[in-house]
């Protein structure tokens, strides 16, 4: 990791381009028959013991051999490539409660599950709810529209595919390092804009003592690392407030260039999943997106993913500015998620 006067240049494994790793298999992980049986056994034991789903931990959801693999993969997510893709979750063999227990149980071996909305859901159902995407409080995951490249409000995001859409809906990853480095080559002046705060909306999920909006830059240099944190939909939503000044041309140009580079052929990695595929992604060094999709009319066939937000127990030091978005930022404590007064953790069996 070399340091320059103007910016930090990163040459580690997380600074990748899709064109260079698309044909590689070393970011894929396949569950074995032994792993699958361990998952099923852990699910059964948790139900036999009467353990509530919100009380699942890596201590009471034991995976004798898979736990070691997940520990290795966790290290690659946090300090390596920044993600991995898994295959073979037995979603067809499990009912809804069982698959949710399995997914959360696996997640607890990589971090602590966090509430993802004001209702306290620690499991997110990523599904088209046929809602109005123009609603400033409607988050895009509940529609079939394209999601621009962004990060989520947690250290690690996990997605499990239950059902695929009729067409489209590709999950895409781009290294935020690679985007930063390319922007430094083309428009270092716009990189400086991205290192300054944008006003962002909380979209109705306002923690105690906070305002409807907050300020957050897209990139922070902190303790020799580059931290990325952006969701343009929240920047756009903030513009609905009378007290928020219009974005400058430079601010818009900087976000446009970030998205354009992330979407350039050669930079991104598309993941076209089948049911049972899953991924864990480090938010501080990866951008992720989803293409628009056409879904089935039959509700039983509709695209459906399960999402986890995880707080890493041995994650990165975060810039102090992350307190505004994450609340707690100390390593080892639960940080991130949507924390509101009186929130109670729940695990809905279906999208709400």
User: Residue 94 belongs to a domain with what CATH number?
Assistant: 3.60.130.10
| Average pLDDT, rounded, for the chain | 90
Question: Is residue 109 included in any domain, yes or no?
Answer: yes
Length of the chain: 352
Question: Is residue 332 included in any domain, yes or no?
Answer: no
Question: Is residue 333 included in any domain, yes or no?
Answer: no
Question: Is residue 3 included in any domain, yes or no?
Answer: no
Please choose, from the candidates 281, 176, 273, the residue with its C-alpha nearest in 3D space to the C-alpha of residue 219: 176
Instruction: Tell me the pLDDT tens digit for each residue of 122-160.
Output: 999 988 775 554 545 444 555 666 678 999 999 999 999
Question: Is residue 297 included in any domain, yes or no?
Answer: yes
Instruction: Tell me the pLDDT tens digit for each residue of 36-60.
Output: 999 999 999 999 999 999 999 999 9
Task: Quote the domain boundaries for residue 176.
Answer: 16-326
Q: What is the secondary structure of 118-179 as a DSSP string?
A: TT-BSSEEE------TTSTT--GGGSSSPEEEE--SSSEEEEEEEE--SEE--EEEEEHHHH
Give the pLDDT of residue 171: 86
Distance CA 201, CA 180 (A): 24
Question: Is residue 1 included in any domain, yes or no?
Answer: no
Give the pLDDT of residue 138: 45
Give the pLDDT of residue 22: 92
Could you tell me if 277 and 158 are in contact, meaning their C-beta atoms sit under 8 angstroms apart?
no
Give the pLDDT of residue 302: 76
Q: Which residues of the chain have pLDDT under 50?
A: 1-5, 133, 135, 137-139
pTM: 0.92
Distance CA 339, CA 299 (A): 31
Question: Is residue 336 included in any domain, yes or no?
Answer: no
Question: Is residue 347 included in any domain, yes or no?
Answer: no
Looking at the structure of the chain, the number of domains it has is 1
Give the pLDDT of residue 6: 56
Give the pLDDT of residue 284: 96
């Amino acid at each position: 990791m070399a340091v320059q006067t103007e910016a930090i240049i990163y040459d580690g494994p997380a600074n990748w381009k899709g064109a260079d790793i698309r044909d590689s298999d070393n970011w894929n992980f396949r569950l074995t028959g032994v792993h699958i049986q361990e998952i099923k056994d852990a699910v059964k034991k948790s139900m036999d013991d009467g353990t509530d789903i919100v009380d699942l931990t890596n201590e009471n959801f034991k995976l004798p051999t898979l736990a070691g693999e997940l520990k290795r993969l966790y290290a690659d997510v946090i300090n390596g490539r920044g993600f991995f893709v898994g295959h073979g979750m037995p979603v067809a063999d499990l009912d809804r409660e069982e698959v949710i227990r399995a997914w959360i149980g696996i997640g607890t071996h990589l971090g602590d599950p966090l509430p993802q909305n004001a209702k306290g859901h620690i499991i997110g159902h990523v599904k088209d709810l046929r809602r109005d995407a123009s609603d400033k409080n409607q988050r895009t995951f509940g529609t079939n529209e394209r999601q621009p490249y962004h990060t989520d409000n947690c250290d690690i995001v996990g997605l499990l595919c239950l059902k695929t859409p009729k067409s489209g809906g590709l999950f895409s990853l781009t290294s935020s390092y690679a985007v930063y480095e390319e922007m430094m080559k083309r428009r270092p002046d716009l990189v400086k804009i991205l290192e300054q705060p944008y006003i962002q909306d909380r979209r109705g999920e306002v923690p105690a003592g906070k305002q409807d909006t907050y300020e957050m830059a897209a990139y922070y240099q902190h303790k020799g690392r580059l931290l990325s944190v952006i969701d343009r939909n929240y920047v756009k939503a903030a513009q609905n407030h009378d007290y928020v000044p219009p974005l400058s041309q430079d601010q818009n140009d900087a976000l446009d260039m970030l998205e354009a580079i992330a979407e350039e052929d050669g930079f991104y990695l598309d993941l076209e999943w089948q049911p049972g595929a899953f991924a864990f992604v480090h938010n501080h060094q990866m951008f992720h997106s989803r293409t628009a999709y056409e879904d089935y009319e039959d509700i039983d066939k509709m695209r459906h993913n399960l999402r986890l937000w995880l707080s890493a127990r041995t994650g990165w030091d975060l810039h102090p500015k992350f307190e505004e978005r994450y609340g707690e930022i100390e390593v080892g404590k639960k940080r991130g998620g949507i924390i509101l007064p009186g929130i109670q953790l729940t695990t809905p069996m279906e999208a709400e």
